[in-house]
Amino acid sequence: MNGNTWLPLLVIASSLLPGLIIFGLAENRVRLRIALNLVGAIVKLVLVGWMLWGTSQGLHYEMRLVLLPGLELVLRAGPLSLLFVSLSAVLWLVTTVYAIGYLEGSPYRSRFFGFFSLCVTATVGVALAGNLITFLVFYELLTLATYPLVVHRGTEAARRAGQTYLIYTVLGGALLLLGTVWLYTLTGTLEFTPQGFLSEVGEEHHFALIIIFVLLIAGFGVKAALVPLHGWLPQAMVAPAPVSALLHAVAVVKAGAFGIVRVVYDVFGMEFASGLGVTGPLAWLAAITIIYGSMRALFQDDLKRRLAYSTVSQVSYIILGVAIAGPIAAIGGVVHLVHQGLMKITLFFCAGNLAETLGIHKVSEMNGVGRRMPWTMAAFTVGAFGMIGAPPVAGFISKWYLGLGALEAGQGWVIIVLAGSSLLNAAYFLPILHRAWFREPPDAWPEEHDFGRKETALMLLLPPVVTALMALAAGLLASAPFSPLEWAKLIAVREFYQP
Amino acid sequence: MGAEVSDIPWGLVLILLPLMGGMACFLWPRVTTMLGLVTVFGVALSVAGLGWQILENGVYRHAVGGWGAPLGIDLYADGLSLLMLTATALVGLGVSVYSAAYFRREDATRFWPLWLFLLAGLNALFLSADIFNLYVTLELMGLAAVALAALTGGKDALGGAMRYLLAALLGSLAYLLGVALLYHGFGTVDITLLGQRVESGPVLWAALGLMGAGLLLKTAVFPLHFWLPPAHASAPAPVSALLSALVVKASFYILLRLWLSIFGPLVGEEGVDTLLGLLGATAVLWGSVQALRQTRLKLLIAYSTVAQIGYLFLAFPLAAAAGVTAWHAVIYLAFSHALAKAAMFLVAGNLLRFGGHDRIADLDRVVQRLPLTTGAFALAGVSIMGLPPSGGFIGKWLLLEMALAQGRWDLVVVMILGGLLAAGYIFKVLGRAFTQAEVTHKSRAVPACMEWAALLLAIGAVLLGFLAVPVLSVVGIGDPFGVSGVRP
Amino acid sequence: MDRNRWLVLPLILALAVGLGYAVLSLPERTDGLQKMVADKMEVSGVSNPVTAVLLNFRGYDTLLEMVVLLLALLGVWSLGGAALHREAAPGPVLDTLARLLVPVLILVAAYLLWVGAHAPGGAFQAGSVLGAAGVLLLLVGWRLRPGLTAWPLRLILVAGPGAFVIMAIFTLLIERQLLEYPPAQAGALILLLETAATLSIGVTLAALFLGERPQDKGSK
Amino acid sequence: MNVDIYAMLLLIVVAWPLLLAIPALHSRLPWPHHLAIMPAVVLMILPGEASLELPWLFFGTGFAIDGDNQWILGMSVAIWLMAATIAKNIKHDFATPFFLLTLAGNLGVILAADLVGFFVFSAFMGYGFYGLLIYKGDAEVWRAGRLYLIFLVLADLALFEALLLAAFTMQNLRFEEVRHVMAEGSSSQFYIWMVLIGFAFKTGIWPVHLWLSAAFRSVSQLTMLLLGGVPVTMGLFGVVRWLPIGEHVYYVLGTAIQMLGVVAMLYVVLRLLMPSPVKLLPAWASTAVSGLFIAALGTGLSHPVVWHQYEHLIYPFIAILGIFLAVFGFAIGRLPETRRSPALVASRAEAFNLWVERWIGTVRSWAKDRLLGFQSHQRASQRQVVKQYQRILNWQKPGGVGVGWSTRISLFVLLGLALAWLAG
Amino acid sequence: MSAAFLYALVGMGLFSLGVYALIVHAHLLRKILAINVMGSGIFLVLVALARRTGEAQPDAVPHAMVITGIVVAISATALALTLMLKLAAETGCAELPDEKRE
């Protein structure tokens, strides 16, 4: 049954239009800008909710626009799309609130929020893309929309980081384009199909398909920060905290990981990809990234850089889950898409709060900060435990399914990787927690701002607490209906068991 | 009334109107801007009228003087011509609106007649079906362009214009000698008739050598691009826009027409088209690298033109097997490049006016104050880089698709590299937009219409990405690529 | 430079040889369009085939060509002229010569214009002679009266291409075909066009020689 | 209805202290520590068995109370009541949440009906206990805490592996079934090892008892009390619950474990022969007891029949052991400060810790050197390449100046010739 | 070989000579002259080959073309000369900037 054709487009427009209007706003129209942002975010949430409900009722939302004969822009709301769309919509709202609080009184806010909205638009577009070309379109838009956010501060370091970011992503985009076009010349279609659309391709092209796979993965791997394509991510930390949060939790990094999920499931198809023998190396690559990222995180004193390397490591959980080639691992990978988002955004919010309230940027400055900002650090603690994979936070659920999936697929080595990563995660998160809660606070913080009786501004405090609660809920209530886990199961069923 | 509107010979209006406008501007310099604007709007309307006629009745042909080829001259417009005319009209409109604010009184009286004659030359060129007549239009266009390029005066502009003039004359003389050979060899100068009569032989080869080299020189293909950057960089901004967007495309159009109707079907296997492809590939790489190395914005944009022209030639080696699609790609690239590049030069003009210089390293003080202008540059850049969903993307997608389907990895690599380098030089400029720096010097206000003209052109270049299906179906009217679409 | 010369020479020789080869490969005997021109001479309105081709069969080229000439002048003027002419007083010989020659030249031009209809000659030849007269006048220091430099001069300069364009529109309205003269009036119309063209060409050439734009009354 | 309320009580027992752990709540209540234990006390007092299924929690889990864990619950309630009384007297408000967290974890572990629940609440308990362990921090305590944390993480990892293995083998992770199914499973040996290692780390069984002895050396009365009563007993409890004892004969494995237990006890005896500080006595006691316990387990594994004879005694044994260790620890903790400094042991433990730290530091600096050195080398070579490239490019200067006009026209002619030649 | 071809060959020679001169001479006036020589060569080719009709009347169309060509050449030359003069006035040297280096 077909639902409203325009709904996917409306979901995209709900952030695009406010963004475009905001670009035109004068710097001092603060109220209007906030209103636009929030209305956009709430409308998007409502629309996504509508779409979720409709899809669960069996409605089918799809929109098509012909680009070239045989080449269409397609927006479609499937289970996988909805998972990512919901994540983006929810986190956008939260991040918007946070960003409003964070950027109060700083210059160039119109520009910031404009690109911010564009960034979300692109992410939602990536999520809803119904074929590879649409994905590519929004993926590139994402590159362009994020760049101004990375360099927003305008310092020399920001400019350099922006440059690095661009070099990586533009290169990745080029590889992606190449792979896409090549694929198109072989198949004549790019439509995402459960279990892939390549089974018709003849034997003689299999080598080409392997190269295409490598190209596509490399293209997406840049944003997903797969080693050795991760170099831009830690540098991009010069951006303001809401950007880092969005960059790492939802938009950029996830778009890359999501792309890999799409490639493996809906382009190649799990079965076909395993037949080609490409998932094994992918799993290894993901494993290396997981360990490497954690190792590097261990040695960072800068809090945000530590978190960034942690992202490098964690995002590859998703890829690992996808590459293990089994339904249960797939659940783990896909659900981690959401879980990691919730947990990492919490961590970045908290890092932003520390920087904004107390001027703390380094781990070594965090002594006793838990007593000064208990709520922030409580949220941080939840996030950190989630990253370690300790119950009951959401990360535990992901790790559980990944491990189980690895056992099921007969790839025991993955367990060792997971264990090693958890260990390393503990090694770089627990000392932070220890410092924050048990060390004596210093006499003076590096740069303290006064917020009266509260530990920090409410707009800054609420978002991390909310996301931390969500991360907790996603773990505790994993088996409740509409939980991320349940969606992930649905997706895995569609990929593995439907005829 | 409707019938009468459809009876108006819009194609002829397209030529006569700007001629009259130009002369009127010459006669009444006091109202020159208004006359110019009215004329350009009229031309745009006429293109719409012609387009409507072509859509309704198919190919447009007009035998001047009623004689008909080969004795007389035929005007001819198919989908290809229509597209080029549309590009001319759109860019012309944008540039005209911009120029109305850009030029002050004295300069305006010099600019407008020259520009209207240039417009007449362009329209006549795209409508012509006669190689000698094409020569005349080529000269009309060339002289107007040189005069426009020299408009700012000063050492750089004059030197650039001089170089441009010599190159243009050399090119058109070579072309004319080719025309002479073809006429004496086959007894006609009408393209269609020539296409039927020509046969392979020394005359054809020599003609191809002469006309090809001449037109390549005028199109500024590597290594014959040397005249372009100085001329385009030192001209006033709207003029640079016109030169880069339209004038260069006009000679390419002639080359394409000749190739499609006369030379393409007859030349030997994989010789000339390989050479052209090679030149194109080198141009893409060389132009992009040079653009990346420039320290001044206008030179950067000019070298980018060199690179983008290279893309147009990548289609030649692909066309033999891919046929119409290759030409579709080329046309699309040319169209979107026209819009995007015009926008870029207008942006450069805005920045120059605002900051008084176009040194890229010092642009940060300027760029932030002109968000619309910066936006225009970014959007145009999207198309130049070939990022989706712009017009440039469609063109590059088609080219890439064909190159991959034919296993032409060399071309694939060139295209990808070209795109990357393009991103490099675009962001070299855009990266300055976010550096925070104080405005330390006096700046001149930029009128809103100058900013919007640039922005609208850039938006047009991006929107083209969504219009591929209708545009390409229009291009196909009259089957312009039919003759040598597929080598027999 | 010298070194280059020897490198270039073989290249040019190759070019010349190639071009020569191409010329020699042309057919020994061909009619071109001559037969067709001859066939249509009666309806062309003139009896000189070159004039017929120029102003009737390929009149459109000529229209554009007049524009090119005007454009060149515009270009020269927009450059602001080089003003390198020295305003020295001409010697008495030149002065006298000019006084004698100019009327003769004008007469010759008129003749050439008239004879162009049936024998070699025509607007361009006449215009060139007229231009020569203008150059001569300029050399002896004659200048237009300031009152004439603005509108009247421009009008004459535009007369040639303007006449063509008006004729084009006129024929378009009458015959629905660009520059298709009604056969009966063709001769007269062509003569009219040629007269305007001659005038324009002559003045334009002289103006090109002068280089700079004559000072208008109004502007400085 | 009644049964339902009783079952709901199970949930409340666990959830109530968790809820109270929020500072904003417990800081406003009088006697928060005691209040938190109240539901558990009620559960103790009310007789009967009950179970509660919670399908939405994690992957579906549940709580249950039966004869087995009632013993343990009783012991824990007693210990925690004692601890609460102590805690009330010491004013360390930020220790309270940790107290409550640990309490909730402990109760959850006891009541959990399956492996997942056990694992989750043991994590609560473990990390919460870290806070209790070091809240009165000096450098020595922190070192102990760090060791504890490392062992805790390792333990959780091992248990997680075991858990995965169990989940992979069977659908339902209830204890009664785990025992049967895991015994049948092909990877039961691995599972048993993982469980043993996990709980050994958690409990501080020899030879991984380091954190325990370090912890006992230096902490407060409250911690001394809980150290005996909570981690050790819960570890032993867990081993019994998780291991498939008494189902199969694991002769080699069982014997090895037996030996391990014996060696542990011998080790304690040896240590006690040396001059040992009084403060460490509870640590040696618990090591010895756990050694004994391990030996018993080994016996159970190798001789299931013997196990079945004593099985019913195991929970009361743990309960009594817990009470004993708690009281012992508490008593020792009350001894005067002067009798606490065990010079010999302290120096040894310190030396070991220093050694560990130095080793980690060395690896770290080595890695840093290698990585950074490699990077800077790479950058230098990149610069070289760029320079060369620039040199190549310099044959044409920007702006088109550099190559003469003549060259270009020559190129033009050449191109024309090439076109003509190629066409021919 | 008829006279027509002889003249045409001369025309081609002139064209080549013009190209040569364009290459080797730096002075702009010479370059402009070279262009004119090239143009004359082309006109010669056009007119000469028009003689191949074998009748009294040569082909009229190339003649007309030549007239058009001449007018265009005049226009271009005029513009070029003015440009050259302006450039010379501006730089003091009637050569292209890059040419002076050689």
pLDDT at D331 over 50: yes
Higher pLDDT, A90 or B444: A90
**What is the b/e burial string over B194-212, where b = at least 16 CB atoms within 10 angstroms of the residue's CB?**
bbeebeeebbbbbbbbbbb
Contacting partners of chain A (3+ CB pairs under 8 A): B, D
pLDDT at B5 over 70: no
Per-domain boundaries in chain B: 1-267, 270-488
Q: Taking each helix axis as running N to C, give the angle between helix D67-89 and helix D314-334, from 0 to 180 degrees, rounded to the nearest 10.
A: 10
Taking one residue from A and the other from B, the number of pairs with CB-CB distance under 8 angstroms is 80
Contact status, residue E66 vs residue E50, Cβ threshold 8 Å: no
Nearest to A270 by CA among A316, A323, A318, A219: A323
Contact status, residue A430 vs residue A366, Cβ threshold 8 Å: no
- Please check whether residue D313 touches B, CB under 8 A: no
pLDDT value for B380 = 94
Question: What distance in Å separates the CA atoms of residue A377 and residue A361, rounded to the nearest whole number?
Answer: 14
Confidence bin at B2 (pLDDT 50/70/90): very low
Tens digit of each residue's pLDDT (9 = 90 or more) over E11-36: 999 999 999 998 888 888 999 999 99
pLDDT at D306 over 70: yes
Confidence bin at B1 (pLDDT 50/70/90): very low
Nearest to C198 by CA among B138, B26, E71: E71
Of C37, C40, C74, the CB nearest to B26: C74
What is the C-alpha R_g of chain A?
Answer: 21
Distances, alpha carbon A298 to alpha carbons A308, B108, D320, in Å = 11, 67, 43
- Please check whether residue D404 touches E, CB under 8 A: yes
Q: Is the Cβ pair D153, A403 closer than 8 Å?
A: no
D53 phi and psi, to 5 degrees? -95, 130
pLDDT at B397 over 80: yes
Determine the residue of chain C that is closest to D417 in CA distance: C15
pLDDT value for D341 = 46
Of C27, C64, C151, the CB nearest to B137: C64
Per DSSP, the residues of B161-188 read HHHHHHHHHHHHHHHHHHHHHHHHHHS-
Confidence bin at C99 (pLDDT 50/70/90): confident
Question: What distance in Å separates the CA atoms of residue C173 and residue A110, rounded to the nearest whole number?
Answer: 58
pLDDT value for D342 = 47
What's the average model confidence in pLDDT over E53-62? 81
- Please check whether residue B167 touches A, CB under 8 A: no
Cis peptide before D342 (omega within 30 of 0): no
Question: What distance in Å separates the CA atoms of residue B229 and residue B301, rounded to the nearest whole number?
Answer: 8
pLDDT at B46 over 50: yes
Contact status, residue A326 vs residue A497, Cβ threshold 8 Å: no
User: Nearest CA of chain C to the CA of E21: how many Å?
Assistant: 10
Tens digit of each residue's pLDDT (9 = 90 or more) over A444-462: 888 888 777 778 888 888 9
- Please check whether residue E99 touches D, CB under 8 A: yes
- Show the tokens assigned to B396: 């590059």
Ranges of residues in chain A whose predicted pLDDT is under 70: 1-3, 248-249, 498-499
Between positions 192 and 211 of B, the ones with CB within 8 A of D are: 200, 202, 204-206, 208-210
User: Nearest CA of chain B to the CA of E46: how many Å?
Assistant: 6
Tens digit of each residue's pLDDT (9 = 90 or more) over D8-57: 888 888 888 888 888 777 777 788 888 888 888 888 887 777 788 887 77
- Please check whether residue E6 touches C, CB under 8 A: no
**What is the b/e burial string over B292-304, where b = at least 16 CB atoms within 10 angstroms of the residue's CB?**
bbbebbbbbbbbb
- Please check whether residue E22 touches D, CB under 8 A: yes
Q: Is the Cβ pair C18, D413 closer than 8 Å?
A: no
- Please check whether residue B459 touches E, CB under 8 A: no
pLDDT at D346 over 60: no
| Largest Cα–Cα separation, chain C | 65
Tens digit of each residue's pLDDT (9 = 90 or more) over B450-460: 999 999 999 99
User: Nearest CA of chain E to the CA of B181: how many Å?
Assistant: 8
Q: How remote is the C-alpha of B397 from its chain's centroid?
A: 20
Contacts 24+ apart (CB under 8 A), A352-355: A352/A98, A352/A102, A352/A240, A352/A241, A352/A242, A352/A244, A352/A245, A352/A460, A353/A241, A353/A456, A353/A460, A353/A461, A353/A464, A354/A303, A355/A241
Of C4, C8, C18, the CB nearest to D420: C18
What's the average model confidence in pLDDT over B145-168? 90
pLDDT value for A102 = 86
- Please check whether residue C13 touches D, CB under 8 A: no
pLDDT value for B134 = 95
Question: What distance in Å separates the CA atoms of residue A266 and residue D282, rounded to the nearest whole number?
Answer: 61
B161 contacts on E by Cβ (under 8 Å):
83
Contact status, residue C40 vs residue C57, Cβ threshold 8 Å: yes
Indicate the residue type of B96.
Answer: S
Per-domain boundaries in chain E: 3-93
Q: What's the CATH code, domain E3-93?
A: 1.10.287.3510
Higher pLDDT, D310 or A15: A15
pLDDT value for D215 = 77
Q: Is the Cβ pair D417, C12 closer than 8 Å?
A: no
Contact status, residue A321 vs residue A261, Cβ threshold 8 Å: no
Tens digit of each residue's pLDDT (9 = 90 or more) over D84-96: 888 777 666 677 8
B468 contacts on A by Cβ (under 8 Å):
67-68
C161 contacts on B by Cβ (under 8 Å):
19, 23
| Location of structure tokens 């000072």 | C215
pLDDT value for B454 = 93
| Largest Cα–Cα separation, chain A | 71
pLDDT value for D377 = 61
Question: What distance in Å separates the CA atoms of residue B358 and residue B354, rounded to the nearest whole number?
Answer: 10
Higher pLDDT, D243 or B436: D243
Q: Is the Cβ pair B202, C25 closer than 8 Å?
A: yes
**What is the b/e burial string over B441-480, where b = at least 16 CB atoms within 10 angstroms of the residue's CB?**
eeeeebeeebbbbbbbbbbbbbbbbbbbeebbebbbbbeb
pLDDT at D347 over 50: no
- What interface predicted TM-score (ipTM) does this complex get? 0.83
- Please check whether residue A177 touches B, CB under 8 A: yes
- Please check whether residue D414 touches C, CB under 8 A: yes
A151 contacts on B by Cβ (under 8 Å):
431, 434-435
pLDDT value for D1 = 43
B150 contacts on E by Cβ (under 8 Å):
83, 86
Confidence bin at B281 (pLDDT 50/70/90): very high
Nearest to D71 by CA among D241, D314, D315: D315
Q: Is the Cβ pair B389, A158 closer than 8 Å?
A: no
3-state secondary structure of B307: helix
Confidence bin at B248 (pLDDT 50/70/90): very high
